[in-house]
Structure 1
Amino acid sequence: MVHPEFDRSWLRLSSVQRVFDVLEQAGQEARVVGGAVRNSLLGEPVDDIDIATTATPQMVMAQAAEHSVKAVGTGVEHGTVTLVIEGRPFEVTTLREDVETFGRKATVRFGRDWSHDAQRRDFTLNALYLDRHGQLHDPLGGLDDCLARRVTFIGNAETRIREDYLRILRFYRFHAHYGAGAPDAEGRSACAKLKDGLEQLSAERISKEILKLLSGAGAVACLTMMEEDGILQALFGRRLRVAELECASRLLEGTSFPCDPELGLIVLAIDKPGEAGRLAERLRLSNAFEKRARLAVEASDVLRQAENANAFAHGVKLSLYRYGRQASADGLILAKISGDTSIFAGMLKLVKETQVPVMPLSGRDLLAEGLAAGPEVGRRLKILEAEWIKSDFLTEKAKLLNIK
């Protein structure tokens, strides 16, 4: 095999080499597998470093204790132990082969055959291994697929999917991040055919995968394919706004305001305040996401009402005052994805640089002026706030107090 040149510098880190020191005892072997190897070959950043080993979980725990390394049994029954070295976690999994498969509840046994371990993984570009010396091991011939950026299922695509239906979403997600050219036809066909199996997945697994997909450079193209293949309808029960997401991505090109995955999901799936709660519930998303989505839609309603430059400047102040800077920027994108984009950068600059208005008056000030405590304070404060907003947030405290 001809081994390509690629960056292995991360492999020489003391923490990584110490993992090998712990694992490679008494004839046991260990290799880095999956994402770190794939990303190195493709010139992508290396984040998580996962290790496969012939040592059983019990051996890993014992050897870690012998080397005074923290070990956490994060999935011992499935062969996984997390080693923490120099503050960095390394997920270590014993070589496995399937005995019976029931989706994620497959019965596995531990072994020493690297080829068998590779065969139970999802895609050929993820079945590549690297030993501590930087030697590449390719038991299934996945190197060519990796270098060509082909996301191809290992063996029969339908068989791999039936083992875990999340692999449908992973197929599109990996193509969005790493794929080049048209997606693998057999894989795509299998995903479309077996899409009803997505009903078996938890909302948490789906949302995690969708958000990862949305961070990929090819997200819009892959979402378009997912719409054509009926995947989005199966997940969300309705059509999503893929075209609007493409417009939003274009709007933000060249700006310092990225279309992060959460914003992408807001653009894709939410157009009314009530939809934020429904989507958050459907995908078990956080309260923070639901709040961000709701405020973004409310801010967009304020910014859509601006008919000229002066009105827009006032709308920006009003949005900043009511919803804050993050929601105002999100709302601007929702408001302008279907309108004139030629002046969007200037609008975004205004949102980012306009000072957030601060109401110069409080209930305490009204009490100091002799107003009796009670509901009248709140009522009076709302009247004065409306006058302050009407003055383009310019009326000072003394003048507000003089308003009858």
Structure 2
Amino acid sequence: MTARITADWLRAPALQAVFDALETDGDEARVVGGAVRNTLLGLPATDIDISTTAVPSTVMGKAAAHGLKAVPTGFDHGTVTLVCDGIPYEVTTLREDVETHGRSATVRFGRNWLHDAERRDFTMNALYCDRRGEVFDPVGGLPDVEARHVRFIGDPRLRIAEDYLRILRFFRFHAQYGAGDLDAAGFAAVVDLRDGLAGLSAERIGMEMRKLVSAPRAPETVLAMREAGIVSRVLATHGGLRPFQDLRALDALAPETRAPALALAVLSDGGEADLDDMADHLRLSNAERKRMKVARCASDIPRGWDEARPAPVAKTEILRLLFLAGREAAIDGLLHAWANAGVGPEDELFADALTLLRDAEIPVFPLTGKDLVSTGVPAGPAVGEGLQKARAAWIDSGFALDREALVAVATGA
């Protein structure tokens, strides 16, 4: 099976200039991995990585001779980043493993494209193309790309033992690019070797899970992970799988369903403490932790709307949610509640509420502490207490009370 790529990124002058520098004195260079895979799948190519027969010191010299910036980002392992027209290209010398030990490996440089391909994880990631777009397929990746079949190179157990993160990558790549069933040999291997996940850092697990839960086929993939006994190991929860499936059923209505923080919040089957456990387990950022908690908290408001069905949600309820949570959190909270309601994407109550949440202006509380002080309220705790009473009354009125009325509430006039 042969293929040729005719993508704009391949014809870019900057990339061709890098090829000009590398392909001198008998050395070869080819784009490898994600850019080739994604282009063949009709998906955008992001990072463009290059493999070459030139050793790192030679790459540095070639770059200098051609006026390119060279940064030794992983020099000992064969990687130099070349920058042309402000665009970075990661250039790595062909390698073969001498000894593997977890994530790292003892490697030696070479000129054999097959040996370089055999040390990679999946066949669809071991495709190369030259500067003219001709695709080279040392390990049979082209049929797997065509079938959208994620398959380990060689013996899956050997590939996994080289780096146990490949267990999660197997599922993540299937969720992102796969079609049909998971590769049977790969699935059997990840089940047998799942204990190896315990040796991985939380940061690496978190990076993979963020990508996985936002991928197109995440719902069925997470189900397979649970059946394999992996979900509880990586998420610190057995997982709210049905709500997660219902959340992702809303993809066409709301791009927020693919936000990792919201997806993970829905997957958690507990309260705030469980969210903290998950955030700790995955080393999520403070911003992600906060978004998970706020979404969970904001979801309590629209959960009560279901009692009024089939009546539409009053706009005052939408404004209340917007005012209390802000637009992002309000939408997250609505989607969280929608996913847990089990009513499906055709539900008019939630759909109308989502439209209102996107379109309505967030109410602005019209009273300030300065307003109260100007009426004679002494600065200090009395101002805060008055504002708190006025704010509660303003919300209860459906945001109808004006400043004069709110001053009266705050001062007890």
Task: Give the TM-score of the pair, scaled to structure 1.
Answer: 0.95
**Secondary structure of residue in 1 paired with 2:250:** helix
Q: Which stretch shifts more, 26-35 or 231-240?
A: 231-240
Displacement of 1:7 after TM fit?
3.7
**1:328 corresponding residue in structure 2:** 330
**2:33 corresponding residue in structure 1:** 34
1:357 aligned to which of 351, 354, 363:
363
2:403 matched to 1:397?
Answer: yes
RMSD: 1.7
Q: Which stretch shifts more, 48-57 or 331-340?
A: 331-340
The answer to whether the Cα contact below 8 Å between 1:36 and 1:47 also exists between their aligned partners in 2 is yes
The answer to whether the Cα contact below 8 Å between 2:167 and 2:190 also exists between their aligned partners in 1 is yes
The answer to whether the Cα contact below 8 Å between 1:7 and 1:41 also exists between their aligned partners in 2 is no
User: In structure 1, how many angstroms separate the alpha carbons of the residues matched to 2:202 and 2:336?
Assistant: 25
User: In structure 1, how many angstroms separate the alpha carbons of the residues matched to 2:4 and 2:117?
Assistant: 23
1:338 aligned to which of 315, 335, 340:
340
1:386 is aligned with what amino acid?
A
Displacement of 1:256 after TM fit?
5.9
Task: Write out aligned runs for 1:224-303 (5 A).
Answer: 224-255=223-254, 257-269=256-268, 271-303=270-302
2:321 matched to 1:319?
Answer: yes
**Secondary structure of residue in 2 paired with 1:227:** helix
**1:371 corresponding residue in structure 2:** 377
Deviation per CA, 1:180-211: give whole Å up to 9, x if none: 21111110010111111111111111111111
User: In structure 1, how many angstroms separate the alpha carbons of the residues matched to 2:355 and 2:243?
Assistant: 21
**Secondary structure of residue in 1 paired with 2:245:** helix
**1:162 corresponding residue in structure 2:** 161
**1:19 corresponding residue in structure 2:** 18
2:267 is aligned with what amino acid?
L
Provide the aligned length of Structure 1 versus Structure 2. 403
Identity of aligned residues (%): 49
* Unaligned ranges ≥5, structure 2: none
**2:182 corresponding residue in structure 1:** 183
**1:142 corresponding residue in structure 2:** 141
The answer to whether the Cα contact below 8 Å between 1:6 and 1:43 also exists between their aligned partners in 2 is no
User: In structure 2, how many angstroms separate the alpha carbons of the residues matched to 1:255 and 1:279?
Assistant: 24
Displacement of 1:305 after TM fit?
2.6
Displacement of 1:312 after TM fit?
4.9
* Unaligned ranges ≥5, structure 1: none
Deviation per CA, 1:335-387: give whole Å up to 9, x if none: 12232341122110111112111111111111111111111111111111111
**Secondary structure of residue in 2 paired with 1:82:** strand
User: In structure 1, how many angstroms separate the alpha carbons of the residues matched to 2:174 and 2:386?
Assistant: 58
- Describe the shift of the 1:276–1:312 C-alpha distance in structure 2 as closer, same or farther (beyond 3 A): farther
- Describe the shift of the 1:135–1:311 C-alpha distance in structure 2 as closer, same or farther (beyond 3 A): closer
Task: Give the TM-score of the pair, scaled to structure 2.
Answer: 0.93
User: In structure 1, how many angstroms separate the alpha carbons of the residues matched to 2:133 and 2:249?
Assistant: 40
Q: Which stretch shifts more, 235-244 or 48-57?
A: 235-244
Which stretches of structure 1, 4 residues or longer, exceed 6 Å deviation after superposition? none
**Secondary structure of residue in 2 paired with 1:101:** strand
**1:386 corresponding residue in structure 2:** 392
Deviation per CA, 1:100-128: give whole Å up to 9, x if none: 11012210011111111011000111111
User: In structure 2, how many angstroms separate the alpha carbons of the residues matched to 1:357 and 1:270?
Assistant: 33
**2:150 corresponding residue in structure 1:** 151
The answer to whether the Cα contact below 8 Å between 1:270 and 1:293 also exists between their aligned partners in 2 is no
User: In structure 2, how many angstroms separate the alpha carbons of the residues matched to 1:7 and 1:264?
Assistant: 36
User: In structure 2, how many angstroms separate the alpha carbons of the residues matched to 1:349 and 1:122?
Assistant: 44
The answer to whether the Cα contact below 8 Å between 2:3 and 2:134 also exists between their aligned partners in 1 is no
1:87 is aligned with what amino acid?
G
User: In structure 2, how many angstroms separate the alpha carbons of the residues matched to 1:258 and 1:87?
Assistant: 34
Displacement of 1:261 after TM fit?
2.9
The answer to whether the Cα contact below 8 Å between 2:5 and 2:135 also exists between their aligned partners in 1 is no
The answer to whether the Cα contact below 8 Å between 2:256 and 2:332 also exists between their aligned partners in 1 is no
User: In structure 2, how many angstroms separate the alpha carbons of the residues matched to 1:58 and 1:179?
Assistant: 38
User: In structure 2, how many angstroms separate the alpha carbons of the residues matched to 1:8 and 1:50?
Assistant: 15
User: In structure 1, how many angstroms separate the alpha carbons of the residues matched to 2:252 and 2:134?
Assistant: 40
- Describe the shift of the 1:110–1:193 C-alpha distance in structure 2 as closer, same or farther (beyond 3 A): same
2:60 is aligned with what amino acid?
M
**2:64 corresponding residue in structure 1:** 65
Displacement of 1:310 after TM fit?
7.1
**Secondary structure of residue in 2 paired with 1:51:** strand
